[in-house]
Every structure is written in C-alpha cells, then in structure tokens.
Structure 1
Amino acid sequence: MKKNKLVDIHCHILPRLDDGSPSLAKSIELARQAVADGIGTILATPHHMDRHYTNHALSVQKAVESFQAELDRRGIDLQIFPGQEIHLNGEIIANLDDLMGIDEGRKYLLLELPHEMVPSYLDEIIFQLNSRGITPVIAHPERNARIIAEPEILYNLVKQGVLAQVTATSLVGTFGKQVQKTAKEFVKCGLVQVVASDAHVLKNREFSMTKAYQVLTDMGSNYSENFQQNARDLLNGDDVSVEVIKIPRKKRKFGLF
C-alpha cells in the first residue's frame, strides 16, 4: 500500500485534550506511527460532551493549528484536520453551533454511543440531525455491547440513513474474536462504510490501518478500495453511497466485550 495514502477520520492524536495523548511528545510519537502505517491525513477527534471531556470547536481548531505547526517544523509528513468525537446525549441539538463535522461543512457528524447501550432517544436525535442536513456517522458500533447482542439495531439505523465507522483494531482482532466477528459481519452486510483507527496512546489502541485494509482486501468485493474512497468522501463532504444492506445474524446472548 502506497505510503501516506490513507485517511484516518477518527483519531485521538492531539495532546492534553482527552485520554488520547498526555503530552506533545507522545502526540509526536503517535504522528510518526501514523506515517509509518501509511497514513497521510488525520481528522483529530477529541472526545466532546461525554462524562469526562468537553472540547469546544474553537479550542480544537487552535490545538490543531499548534500541532500542525509542530509537525511541519519537525518535517513529519502528516496533515491534521480538526474534528470531534461527539458523545450521544440530549444536548446535541441545543449545542450544534459548537459541534465540528467530519467535513468542514458539517454534512457528517462523528457520533459515539455509550459502550454498553443504545439510548431510546437516539432515533429522535437522528431525525433532528437529518432534518438539518446532517448525517450521523456512528463510531465503532461493533464495540457496543447492545449492538453486539442485537446487531439488527445497526441495520435499522442504516436504513434511516445513518453511516457507521468500524475500528481498524476491531478488524484485526485486537479487541477479541467476538468483536472481530461482529466487525467483519457488519462489513459484509454493508452496515459500516469506513474504517478508522480510533488511536490513543494506550495499550492495544494503535493505528493498524494497513493491517485492517489487508483484512478488507482478503474479504474481497472491493471493500478496501471502497472504504478508502469513503474516507476521502467523508472528509470532503461528498456523497457516500450505501448500496445493498443486509440483515445480520439473529439476536444472541448479551454480553460486554
């Protein structure tokens, strides 16, 4: 895979904003790892509006400008764009002016669900966002315990026009066989459209993008090429086509991964 070709739309690379990186030195280390993994463009997505972190749009923009200047000074060939991983809560619509999209025009919004559940008000939030021309992109649904147990939930969300992002390390098996199986099934069913790293300076939270794209290649059906194009389209605010989607396996025993 050509070096510096990949686009990563979900990454916690900025220093001292969330649990992604505790220092500039660690963020520089992450940046070098990204380049070594074939990544040329990263959407920096610090957590926002969850129980622990608030990262306002202006603060993220300033942090990206400062970090990009440091990367340029060190000759690290990596382009950073500002974004947020927005935690699902009832205040999203009231705070839209402070939310950054995957793209500059905020056609797409990276939305994180609680890890263990799918709140009952999600459908209403999706409706409210869609009515404003915003498409939610659900982050790592394959790691949500409720969706693992009832994967048809994601099928119903995609039917509503939602998109979804699978994590690279899920595809390569870092989170275990159950998550990997779920991730691959969602790819085959057309329920996820893009792969991203969700990288942190934490154990087992590396980039693994090249490995993930190799998994997609091995799965066939042009998944690798389509997912690479979708990442670029999301970042540019272009249309992402969802063609055929399939209902995944039946409900199985609920359990945390």
Structure 2
Amino acid sequence: MKINNLVDLHCHILPAIDDGSPSLEASLKLARQAVVDGIRYILATPHHMDRHYLNHAGDVAAAVKVFQAELDANDIPLTIFPGQEVHLNGQLIKNIDDVLGIDTGRHYLLLELPHEMVPSYLDEMIFQLSCEGITPVIAHPERNAQIIAEPKRLYKLAEDGVLAQVTATSLVGTFGEQVQRTAKEFVKCGLVQVVASDAHALKNRGFAMTKAYQVLNEMDSQYPERFATNARNLLNGDKIKARRIEVPRKQRKHWLS
C-alpha cells in the first residue's frame, strides 16, 4: 500500500452541490488537503434522494468533469470519479437508472441509512438490489444509533452479503469514544471492508485517511493492505476477498425509536 496512492470512496468534495462544499474555492482547498493526506483517487459522492438533495447521475458526471478540469488547471494531482451517496428510500429501485454505483458497472452501491435507525424494509431493498446485480455498501454503520445499540444488525446484513464502509474520522476518535469503539469492533469482526473519509468542508469533517490507516495497522498489520486493496477493487467493480465474519459484542447503550 502506497500512502500517497490511497482511494477514497466517500467524499463530498464537489462544489455547491450538497452540504459538502459551498464553493469552488472550498473544494480546491479540500482537494489539496486530500493530496497531503495521501489520497490520489476520490469517488465524489454527493447526497442523492435524501430529504434535502437530489443529485441526478448526469448532473454529477458533468460536475465531476468541470471540477477535474479545475484540479488539472491548478496542478492538483487528484483524479475524481462520479458517484453518489444514495439514501435508502422506497423509490430506489424505481429510480435505479438515475443511480451511480461505486464502479461504472454498478456492481456496488454506496447506500446511506437514516442516522437514527434501520428501516424495516431494508432487507427487502437489499433483495431487490441483489436481483439487479447490485451489492450495497452501507456508509458509516458505526454512526447509526440503532446499529450502535444492536451491532448484530450489521452482522445479519453481512451474512446476506452486504458490505460496509467505516469512516476514517470514526476510527481516529473524532466522533467520540463510543463511535470509535464500535468502528474498531466492526473492523475486528470483518463487518466493514473499506475505510473512506466522508469529508466535508466543515470543522472536524476532514480526511484523516493516513491516521485511520495507522489505526488499522496498530490493530493488525494486515489490515492496511487489505482495506486499500478492497477500495481499489470496489472502484474497479472487482470482487473483494471475503473474510470470516464474527458476531460483534453487545453494546450497552439503549436505542429508542
């Protein structure tokens, strides 16, 4: 794993398209921070179909093309790919043609759950996506209130072949001790397969990818190479090596609907 060659599969770097960056200037600043943090490739993942944003596939692709030209003009060695952070909703399959995958073949989809809970129809949606040949990659499960309280929920999803992405800042403790503990537990249990930044131009929402890979290395020296390879394989639409999953320890905090 080359630390200046990292792939970031979850990043809100595009200007004025969601809550990630208010302007081109802010986006270029984010891009420079990404390079300093060892990142070479970024999947731009603006919010799509959540309560606030609708970023159509064609619009995202066009925005990436314009932003890449700005990066090149400013000699920032970063390559951007079009993607979306797709919010789980009942209209997902109906609007699947307006959805960008992590890879161009849409074998993988970055799927965001509500922060508070896991909707009861998630299992049915996963089945419908599988019928389309799509494997969901759940974004930041370690920050979902219900999954924190009921970690077995993620284990059951993993049993069904669902993948998950842990946030770099979760691993390094930016979101607090409980989220960090949950993130590390999911790594140990094989329930998350890739680390990404989920970076925004907001305080405490930076990249922290290098630090996250250091945390992974402290946990197990094999983790950094595995996670880096998984990120590349997901971006390329290739299969990732499955590893044995384990049931996570129970969390003590209660979850209330």
TM-score range, shorter-chain basis?
A: over 0.9
Output the CA distance in 1 between the equivalents of 2:89 and 2:150: 21
Which aligned pairs between 1:32-111 and structure 2 lie closer than 5 A? 32-111=32-111
Whether the 8 Å contact between 1:169 and 1:205 is mirrored in structure 2 is: yes
Whether the 8 Å contact between 2:3 and 2:210 is mirrored in structure 1 is: no
Aligned partner of residue 94 in structure 1, secondary structure: coil
Aligned partner of residue 155 in structure 2, secondary structure: helix
Q: What letter matches 2:193 in structure 1?
A: Q
Output the CA distance in 1 between the equivalents of 2:8 and 2:242: 20
Say whether residues 1:112 and 2:109 are aligned partners.
Answer: no
**Unmatched runs of 5 consecutive residues or more in structure 2:** none
Question: Normalization by structure 2: what TM-score?
Answer: 0.98
Output the CA distance in 2 between the equivalents of 1:68 and 1:193: 28
Say whether residues 1:233 and 2:233 are aligned partners.
Answer: yes
Give RMSD over aligned pairs. 1.1
Which string of whole-angstrom CA distances, capped at 9 and with x for unpartnered residues, describes residues 152-197 of structure 1?
0000000000000000000000000000000000000000000000
Tell me the CA shift for residue 227 of structure 1.
Answer: 0.2
Output the CA distance in 2 between the equivalents of 1:75 and 1:215: 31
Tell me the CA shift for residue 236 of structure 1.
Answer: 0.1
Whether the 8 Å contact between 1:10 and 1:43 is mirrored in structure 2 is: yes
Output the CA distance in 2 between the equivalents of 1:250 and 1:3: 34
2:140 corresponds to which residue? 140
Q: What letter matches 2:44 in structure 1?
A: A
Whether the 8 Å contact between 2:149 and 2:253 is mirrored in structure 1 is: yes
Tell me the CA shift for residue 104 of structure 1.
Answer: 0.3
Question: Normalization by structure 1: what TM-score?
Answer: 0.98
1:246 corresponds to which residue? 246
Whether the 8 Å contact between 1:174 and 1:204 is mirrored in structure 2 is: yes
2:178 corresponds to which residue? 178
Tell me the CA shift for residue 253 of structure 1.
Answer: 2.2
Report how many aligned residue pairs link the two structures. 256
Tell me the CA shift for residue 255 of structure 1.
Answer: 5.0
1:127 corresponds to which residue? 127
Indicate the percent of aligned positions where both proteins have the same amino acid. 73
Output the CA distance in 2 between the equivalents of 1:140 and 1:20: 16
